[in-house]
Amino acid sequence: MSVKNRIKEYIKSLNIATSTFEESIGASNGYINSISKNIGLDKLTIIIEKYSNLSIEWLLLGKGEMLKDTIQYATNITHRTPQIVTIDSHSQDNIALVPQTLKAGYLSGYNDPNFIKKLPSYRMPGLNNGVFRMFEVEGNSMFPTLPNKSYVVGQFVDNWETGIKDNQIYAIISNEIEDGLIKRCTNRIKKYNNLICKSDNRRNFPTQNIEPSSIKEIWEIKLHLNFQLPDPADIYDRMNDLEAEIQEIKRKQLY
């Protein structure tokens, strides 16, 4: 089913005329029928804002249910979808990149279509089933797993209570994260209303407890891109030196 036909199906569920829907999004009569492969970003943004119960993943990709699940949790967190997405000429989601320099801007502009449209966007092979976003790693809190200035691609997590798995790495969009967006998480949202965010470099970066109400978005990391490939020879040399020192100490103890 095409995007156009899914829009028609949604209009039918509203029990309104197509012309009424077109008028509500500022489109002229016949706009829906004129859609070929994809819908314009400006109209998509208006639809997202005016019809908040419509699943954008279903509209663009045909995935899941037409209407969002609005089941309320004890923590007052509902199922969520990204506020803003961009699509290419084939109606496929682009992967917008959030570089380090725009980290602060993303915290306030994650649901601003003008901000998201200005982000560079890419397509990645193998990342097709879901909504994805790319983030530049900031600092050394996740070193050596994720070095500074490398990149990660995250898949949007809509159900925080069940979708966040212990000891997996996520991009947490929250003002409470003090040293970078990327953390390894322990999910205690249902039990304690708490998301525990840990750094892999735990000697220098303490664990943080994040209240879910402060979180704007969560993305599960699916891909890591590192353009500064480490030389394993240095590691092997250090290991060999250490092994030789241990053997020398043992040898001296025998005499």
pLDDT at 77: 45
Count of helix runs (H) and strand runs (E) in the chain: 10, 9
Q: Which residues pair with 87 in a beta bridge?
A: 93
Query: Taking the CB of residue 217, how many other CB atoms lie within 10 A of it?
Result: 23
Q: What is the spatial distance between Cα 177 and Cα 164, in angstroms, rounded to a whole number?
A: 17
Digitized pLDDT (tens) for each residue of the chain, 255 residues in all: 788 898 899 888 887 888 888 888 888 888 888 887 677 778 888 888 778 788 888 888 888 888 875 433 333 444 455 655 655 555 566 799 999 888 888 888 888 878 888 899 888 888 877 789 999 999 999 998 999 999 999 999 988 988 999 999 999 999 888 778 899 999 999 888 899 999 999 889 999 999 888 898 999 999 999 988 776 666 667 777 778 888 878 777 776
Note the residue count of the chain: 255
User: Model-level pTM?
Assistant: 0.61
Contact 80, 52 (CB under 8 A): no
| 3-state SS class at 153 | strand
Q: What share of the chain is helix, strand, coil (3-state, %, to 5)?
A: 35, 20, 45
Q: What is the spatial distance between Cα 202 and Cα 26, in angstroms, rounded to a whole number?
A: 52
Contact 135, 101 (CB under 8 A): no
pLDDT at 172: 95
pLDDT at 241: 79
CB neighbours of 218 closer than 8 A, spacing ≥ 6? 156, 157, 160, 163, 164, 170, 171, 172, 173
CA-to-CA separations, 203 to 2, 87, 149, 235, in angstroms, rounded: 52, 41, 20, 20
Q: Give all domains of the chain, ordered by start, each with its CATH number.
A: 1-67 (1.10.260), 69-255 (2.10.109.10)
